[in-house]
Amino acid sequence: MGIGHERRFEPAVMEIKRLLDENAFGNIMHAELAFSHDKLIHLPPGSWRTTKEFAPAAGMTQMGIHLTDILIWYFGKVKSVYANTSSRSLGWETAMLWLFSYYLKLA
């Protein structure tokens, strides 16, 4: 069950899932997901997205959870995770790198 993971229903995300299910890309050896937009550039002062209390993992709390949901939906059960964070503009962990290993079935 996933609550609030509506990003997987965006047309482009659903189309990629369809293509993956049809093996249109062959054996997937690497995948990288990102959201590119400027929705967060002009946040009002005090926005929950800029407070450690409500967004303790910064980008992971805001958008990364959606990307994680999509990756699991695309590729299935995660075998292992490596993560590294660093502090930037907000004074707590705002930059993150996650590496997921999957139990992939190769064609």
Q: Give DSSP secondary structure letters for 29-98.
A: ----------TTTTPPTT-GGG-TTT-TTTHIIIIIHHHHHHHHHHH-SEEEEEEEEEE-TTSSEEEEEE
What pLDDT score was predicted for residue 51? 72
Domain ranges of the chain: 6-27+49-102
In the numeric block, which tokens belong to residue 65?
């959870």
- The answer to whether residues 100 and 78 touch, using CB atoms and an 8 Å cutoff, is yes
What pLDDT score was predicted for residue 76? 87
What pLDDT score was predicted for residue 93? 58
pLDDT tens-digit map of 20-73: 999 999 988 888 887 776 766 787 877 777 777 777 666 666 777 888 889 889
What's the residue count for the chain? 107
